[in-house]
Structure 1
């Protein structure tokens, strides 16, 4: 029997975003800056929601969880990509590759469900304002958030189940900066048709269905608000426009990549970067930094921090004088 067929690939080679050294140095600086911005921006939102009791409502609890997911979504592959810009060879172990696939689908699947939960929250708030407190109580909000994470884990396990058991005995070059499932399964020694169909039914169907249902829910909200005053209409349009932008930016690349796994497009690599790096930066800006309540809470947090620093410095100065 051919020994090659008995061997198993121990690692994969990642081609990255570019083979040009000049571009890689530029990308190293750019993505370092973007990654730090993602982490600090989203953690600031989480800290603001935690520290401000007025924000302990379903809407902001979900937004803080979205920020947590965005940090994780940017972290599963971005630090490795930044490292690979300066170091050769760009390799990842088989176990590390499977871990990337699992984590990507946990966080991406969880974010899809959380965005759907946030759309439901806005639907209840705008279309049934008198019953909002009863319908969207803390128990239901917690259930929606926990359910989003659980569905994300189940989605990732279903993707990993058919991937980890594939036979990888030869080609190991992945034309991406991370272990893209659509590319990894094409490297299997067996016919990738069945795994591609399973991926289409899972990720593709999940992405398209969630996206369509979200758009329908936003359309229903707009139709409902049209019957009210122009002031309410303008405010609702502004809020929904922001939500629709975020949903489109997140779902668009995912649907394009995973709904057509049978074909590999050069633009897939760019779309992957957009959904895992740029979307987590835009989410805090679009969802929360435009929000008066969040900006007010951030100002209070800043004032509290500055005052505590001043008091600490005054205390130290008094101690120095006394000594």
Structure 2
């Protein structure tokens, strides 16, 4: 068995979620793809995939092994590029993901700057408000907001953000300005579910945490929808400061309860490639760091 080819085949099966599609991608027949993964499982003496008549699912061990395989294949690619003298080149397609509003508002200049600097590249942006599996969905770089769980991904800190409670001036004139998180229960609340729970918002009073109950009149999975409703004077919402900078600066939204704000949250760039990331990944992350930290 050619171990490297088998590893590449296994990664393709994980990413394509099936043997037939993986075989087409690798230019072999489906039986060849099936045999390569079976031989890999036999050599390792572990089950990497669970096969049914309809789907192929990755086991927990298989998911960890696929990440390690991808790193090994990336290392091999870098060695080959170095040998051919193209190690320093930035080229090829880069796939990135982030939450929808943060991606559109904060990463646009980074994406354009990257493409201008590196004419032999292209970028696909997948801005979605859901968890994304980098390996199985073929993602090169994922921008994640908040504390990270332990994982096999390599994380690079980019910047920090904080959650702000804000409302339109006419709403505050009509309903009053809350002075303490406990008063939120008496206000019309717009819950941006991609930012925080719709049942309680967390604050701090000095070193003491506060969990303030809220009863949203409007709950939405779209942060943009929540901001629009707040600007229209419907009520209070809580979103990330980065996505309402223009509204706060223009005065169409006013921040309240600032003294009770919880600590700032980190923003990381995640990728699969470890410390020896590919040139295209390193170039994008370096530009994101420069742009976001400068802002």
The structure whose residues are more often strand, as a share, is 2
TM-score range relative to shorter protein: under 0.3
TM-score normalised over the length of structure 2: 0.21
The structure whose residues are more often helix, as a share, is 1
TM-score normalised over the length of structure 1: 0.20
